[in-house]
């Protein structure tokens, strides 16, 4: 196919990848991907005496990026350290350029993979996060990526006595200082940054470019005759709506934090049905009337959540605990323990807010709230 033909084919596609191409912005890599690359290189060197440079890893969606090593140190039989520089692409990420280090030490057979927080990586001190109190702030997906790559390296070098039982200490140079510009201190993550990422890829957000890509996504869906589209806050919510409704790729809108952009454009260019799917905390912001869900421009209003819970049967004691909760997830867990359907209440309020923005446009709306693992924790009816 000619270059012109390829460009035309890309223009006709919809979905998350097509939106990113349309922005012209360069994606980057998460701290989780960087930590996985550094861990893979360090463990390989511990077993073989040589650091692979560049080191290639496999991301959850199958991409295989290669990372150049910025630092390496080997103490044969004892430990190996490798580091990579985080490249956030065109995203204004505060961790862009940070040096992410992994030190790998062998453990006794059967010990498994143990994670430690080194300098610049935080420790969880409050409930309400997807990690237990006292754990290093290394989120579940990066942990799984590192475990898988450790197992892969162990399989490749079984003759070198590899068993995959290792301690991984993760560090970020100047991480404690960088973390002051994040939400970690407010969330009770002390001492540094979190190792994050669900796909390994940083999707860059220029407001104007991304909103333009959302509009293009709606246009592509309508041109393809799609009557049901879904606005998703990220890859996990995208997987959820595909599993729920079997929607094709060109019916998926990566709205990110720009819920208002989706609703306002669909108001002018209607489809029969719009599903909004995203994390509980983000959609609680929509429920409270925020159309920009970015953490720098709107926050979870726990007073609002307490009021919603009250309509679902929460007493004043529970309402006070919700107001004092560390995160939206913690508030959700408090309600779940006593069968107050806070997730459904947030989904219904978010749907009503969406309908208000649509101003009577002929679009039926439903909302699905999920947790970090993609489990549905609340949903509204279609109206």
pTM above 0.85, yes or no: no
Judge contact between 20 and 203, C-beta under 8 A: yes
pLDDT in tens, 132-161: 999 999 999 999 999 999 999 999 987 666
> What pLDDT is stored for residue 198 in this prediction?
83
Give the Cα separation of 30 and 88 in Å (integer): 7
Contacts (Cβ under 8 Å, ≥6 apart) of 358 = 263, 266, 267, 365
Judge contact between 166 and 113, C-beta under 8 A: yes
* Banded model confidence at residue 4, pLDDT cuts 50, 70, 90: very low
- Put the strands of the sheet holding 252-254 in their side by side order: 252-254, 228-232, 273-279, 364-370, 376-379
> What pLDDT is stored for residue 159 in this prediction?
65
pLDDT in tens, 34-93: 999 999 999 999 999 999 999 999 999 899 999 999 999 999 999 999 999 999 887 777
pLDDT in tens, 235-287: 899 999 999 999 998 899 988 889 999 999 999 999 999 999 999 999 999 99
Judge contact between 182 and 15, C-beta under 8 A: no
Strands 228-232, 166-172: parallel, antiparallel or unpaired by DSSP? Answer: unpaired
Give the Cα separation of 242 and 261 in Å (integer): 22
Contacts (Cβ under 8 Å, ≥6 apart) of 139 = 32, 130, 131, 194, 195, 196, 197
Q: Is 98 in a helix, a strand, or coil?
A: coil
Return mean pLDDT, the chain: 90
> What pLDDT is stored for residue 33 in this prediction?
96
* Strand partners for 221: none
> What pLDDT is stored for residue 254 in this prediction?
87
């Amino acid at each position: 196919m000619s270059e012109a033909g390829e460009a035309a084919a890309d223009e006709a596609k919809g979905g998350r990848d097509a939106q990113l191409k349309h922005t012209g912005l360069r994606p980057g890599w998460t701290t989780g991907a960087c930590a996985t690359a550094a861990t893979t290189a360090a463990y390989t060197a511990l077993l073989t005496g040589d650091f692979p440079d560049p080191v290639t890893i496999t991301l959850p969606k199958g991409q295989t990026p290669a990372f150049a090593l910025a630092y390496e140190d080997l103490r044969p039989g004892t430990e190996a350290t490798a580091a990579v520089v985080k490249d956030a692409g065109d995203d204004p990420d505060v961790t862009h350029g940070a040096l992410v280090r992994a030190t790998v030490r062998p453990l006794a057979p059967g010990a498994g993979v143990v994670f430690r927080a080194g300098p610049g990586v935080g420790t969880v001190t409050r409930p309400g996060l997807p990690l237990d109190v006292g754990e290093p702030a290394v989120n579940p997906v990066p942990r799984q990526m590192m475990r898988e790559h450790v197992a892969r390296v162990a399989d490749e070098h079984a003759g070198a006595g590899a068993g995959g039982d290792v301690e991984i200490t993760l560090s970020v140079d100047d991480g404690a200082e960088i973390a002051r510009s994040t939400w970690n201190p407010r969330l009770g993550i002390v001492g540094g940054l979190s190792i994050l990422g669900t796909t390994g890829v940083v999707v860059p957000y220029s407001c104007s470019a991304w909103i333009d890509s959302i509009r293009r996504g709606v246009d592509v869906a309508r041109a393809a005759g799609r009557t049901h589209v879904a606005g998703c806050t990220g890859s996990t919510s995208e997987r959820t709506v595909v599993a729920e409704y079997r929607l094709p790729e060109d019916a998926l809108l990566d709205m990110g934090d720009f819920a208002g952009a989706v609703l306002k454009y669909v108001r002018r260019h209607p489809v029969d049905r719009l599903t909004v799917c995203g994390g509980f905390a983000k959609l609680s912001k929509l429920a409270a009337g925020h159309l920009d869900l970015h953490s720098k421009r709107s926050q979870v209003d726990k007073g609002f959540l307490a009021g919603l819970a009250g309509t679902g049967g929460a007493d004043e004691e529970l309402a006070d605990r919700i107001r004092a909760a560390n995160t939206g997830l913690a508030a959700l867990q408090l309600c779940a323990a006593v069968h107050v359907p806070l997730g459904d209440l947030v989904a219904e309020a978010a749907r009503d807010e969406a309908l208000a923005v649509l101003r009577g446009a002929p679009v039926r709306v439903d909302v699905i709230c999920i947790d970090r693992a993609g489990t549905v924790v609340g949903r509204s009816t279609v109206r």
